[in-house]
Amino acid sequence: MAYDYDLFVIGAGSGGLAASKRAASYGAKVAIAENDLVGGTCVIRGCVPKKLMKYGSHFPALFSEAAGYGWKVGDAELDWEKFITSIDNEVRRLSALHISLLEKNGVQLIQGRAKLLDPHTIEVGDKKYTADKILIAVGGRPVKPDVPGFEHGIVSDQIFHLPTRPKHIAIIGAGYIGTEFACIMRGLGSEVTHINRSGMILRGFDDDIRSNIEEGMVNHGIRLIKNSVVEKVEQVDGRLKLTLSDEKLEPVIADVFLIATGRAPNVIGLGLEAAGVELAEDSVVEGPGYGKMSAIKVNEYSQTSQPNIFAVGDVTDRLNLTPVAIGEGRAFADSEFGENRRVFSHSNVATAIFSTPEAATVGLTEAEAKEKYGEDGIKVFRTQFRSMYYVLTGKQEKTMMKLVVEKATDKVLGAHMVGDNAAEIIQGIAIAVKMGATKKDFDATVGIHPSAAEEFVTMR
C-alpha cells in the first residue's frame, strides 16, 4: 500500500524534532504535526524560559556579593515586564529557528492537533494523512489535584506569563518544578512559601542533595512547610487563602498559588484505542485529590503494542528529561530508517536541579548503591566546604560533593554535587562514570587549582 509519508510524527517537541530530522536525513518522507509553538515543553514552557528566569534571579545576590570585593552598587530594581517579555521573545526566536531547521531538513510541518484513526491514518483538523510508521512524541502536561479551589492556582506553564511579580507566592510540589521555582521566585524578590506533603523535597535523589538544597532554601528565606497538604483554596480580598491539613498551622495568604504536583503523559484525545496502542498500568500518586497517570507502553526500541507505531519522551514516562527524549528519538530513527538498529541507554544519565543552591547528579544514590551492593559493599567519599568565591562576601554558602564507590571493583557508581556550577561540573564527571572510571582513576587525575571541581579528585 502507498502511504502519504514514510513517517508521521505527532508532536514537535525535543523528541519529535530530533527523530523527524534524523529520519529525513536517511531519505524518509516525513511530516510532523504540532498544535502549539514548535519546540515542545523544553523550549516553550520548560527548560529554556526557566533557565533564563534562574539567571535573572541571581543578580540580587551578585549585587550584594560585589560589595565584598570593593564594588559600590546602587539601588537595583527589576523591570518585571521587560524581564518576562525578553524571555518570551527568546522562546519565540527559538521556535522560529526550529521551524526553519525542519524546512532545511525537508520535514513538512502540519499545524494542528493530530488524532489517530487507525494504525496508519492520522487526522489533523479536517484533513487525513496516511503513514507507514507513526511516532508519538507529545510529551506531558501539568496536572492539578481535584481539590476545592485549585482552579484559582496556576501551573508551571503559566508562570512565565504573570503580568506582575507576586509579592507572595505559595508553591506545592517538591519535585524539580516546585523546588526550582521556589528558589527562582525568591531570588526575584518574592516572598515564598513552599508546601510539601512529605518530609523532604526531591524524592528519588541522594539524601545529601535533598538536605543540602533544603538547607540552602531556608538560608535564602524560603518558608518550608512539611508533612502538610493544601485542603482548600479560597479567594479573600483579592488574594488566595490556603487552608492546610495541619490544624496547628495558620492558613497561608498568597498572591499567586503555583501547583507543581507533577505532569502526566499527554495521551488524552490521541485516539490510541482506535489505533490499538496500549497504555502501561496506571501509576498512582498518593494523597487526597491526586489522580492516576497513564503512559504509552513501549519496548526497548520505543515500539508500542502496534508494531508500526512508536513513542518517545515524556509520553512514555521512562526518564523524563529533554536529552533523553532526543536520544530516544534519534535511536528510533537510526533503527527504523538508518539501518542501525540500536537501543538508547537509560543508565547513568546525568541530571541537574536548577535550584539555589544548584545540584547535579549521575549514577546511583547512596541508598540505591547500598540496596544493590549491600551496606558493606560500598564506600562513600563526601566533602563539604565554602568555596573561595564566598570568602570575601562573608556569606556561608556551602558546596557538597560526594562519590559512591563499589569496594570490590573500586568503580565509581555515583557522583553528586550541590553548589555553584554543579551542572557544568557533573557533566564532565558523567563521562568518567559512564566509562566505568574507578576511584583510583579519579585520584590519579590532577586537579585544577584553585577550583571547586578539584575536590572530586582529591577526596580521600
- Quick: pLDDT tens for 196-215: 999 999 999 999 999 999 99
Which residues touch 283 (CB under 8 Å, ≥6 apart)? Answer: 292, 293, 294, 295, 317
The dihedral through the CA atoms of 386, 194, 256, 92 has a sign that is: positive
The boundaries of every CATH 3.30.390.30 domain in the chain are 357-457
Query: Which residues does residue 360 pair with via DSSP β-bridges, in sequence order?
Result: 352, 417
Alpha carbon of 83 to those of 46, 52, 96, 131, 164: distances in Å?
16, 9, 20, 43, 10
Q: Which residues of 371-391 are buried (b: 16+ CB within 10 A; e: fewer)?
A: eebeeeebeebeeeeebebbe
Residues 15-54: tens digit of each pLDDT: 999 999 999 999 999 999 999 999 999 999 999 999 999 9
Q: Which amino acid, 394?
A: G
Q: What is the pLDDT of residue 1?
A: 79
Which parts of 302-410 fold into alpha helices (H)? 322-337, 366-373
Question: Angle at the Cα of 363 (from 359 to 369), degrees rounded to 5?
Answer: 110
Q: Confidence band (pLDDT; 50, 70, 90) for 444?
A: very high
Mean of per-residue pLDDT scores for the chain: 96
CA atoms of 30 and 253, how far apart (whole Å): 51
Identify whether the C-beta of residue 68 lies closer than 8 Å to the C-beta of residue 394.
Answer: yes
The alpha carbon of residue 126 and the mean position of all alpha carbons in its chain are separated, in whole angstroms, by 35
Please check the confidence at residue 287 and state whether its pLDDT lies above 90. Answer: no
Please check the confidence at residue 289 and state whether its pLDDT lies above 70. Answer: no
Q: What is the pLDDT of residue 86?
A: 98
Identify whether the C-beta of residue 292 lies closer than 8 Å to the C-beta of residue 285.
Answer: yes
Please check the confidence at residue 269 and state whether its pLDDT lies above 70. Answer: yes
Greater pLDDT, 74 or 357: 357
Please check the confidence at residue 290 and state whether its pLDDT lies above 80. Answer: no
Kindly calculate the radius of gyration of the chain based on its CA atoms and give it in whole angstroms: 24
Residues 106-117: tens digit of each pLDDT: 999 999 999 999
Q: What is the pLDDT of residue 281?
A: 78
Identify whether the C-beta of residue 222 lies closer than 8 Å to the C-beta of residue 195.
Answer: no
The boundaries of every CATH 3.50.50.60 domain in the chain are 5-141+264-337, 150-261
Percent of the chain with pLDDT over 70: 97
Which residues touch 418 (CB under 8 Å, ≥6 apart)? Answer: 208, 209, 212, 213, 216, 357, 358, 359, 398, 399, 400
DSSP 188-243: TT-EEEEEESSSSSSTTS-HHHHHHHHHHHHHTTPEEEES--EEEEEEETTEEEEE
Residue 431, all three cell numbers? 563521562
Question: Angle at the Cα of 38 (from 37 to 41), degrees rounded to 5?
Answer: 80
| Main-chain phi, psi angles of 89, to 5 degrees | -65, -40
Q: Confidence band (pLDDT; 50, 70, 90) for 145?
A: very high
| Topology, domain 5-141+264-337 | FAD/NAD(P)-binding domain (3.50.50)
Lowest mean pLDDT among 255-264, 274-283, 394-403: 274-283
Segment 171-189 shows an average pLDDT of: 97
CB atoms within 10 A of CB 441: 15
Which residues touch 415 (CB under 8 Å, ≥6 apart)? Answer: 361, 362, 363, 401, 402, 403, 404, 426, 429, 430, 433, 456
Segment 66-91 shows an average pLDDT of: 96
Segment 420-440 shows an average pLDDT of: 98
Q: What is the pLDDT of residue 291?
A: 61
Segment 333-354 shows an average pLDDT of: 97
Segment 249-263 shows an average pLDDT of: 97
Q: What is the pLDDT of residue 292?
A: 62
| Topology, domain 357-457 | Enolase-like; domain 1 (3.30.390)
CATH number of 150-261: 3.50.50.60
Q: What is the pLDDT of residue 310?
A: 98
Would you name the residues annotated as active-site residues? 449
Segment 408-430 shows an average pLDDT of: 98
The alpha carbon of residue 71 and the mean position of all alpha carbons in its chain are separated, in whole angstroms, by 36
| Main-chain phi, psi angles of 243, to 5 degrees | -90, 130
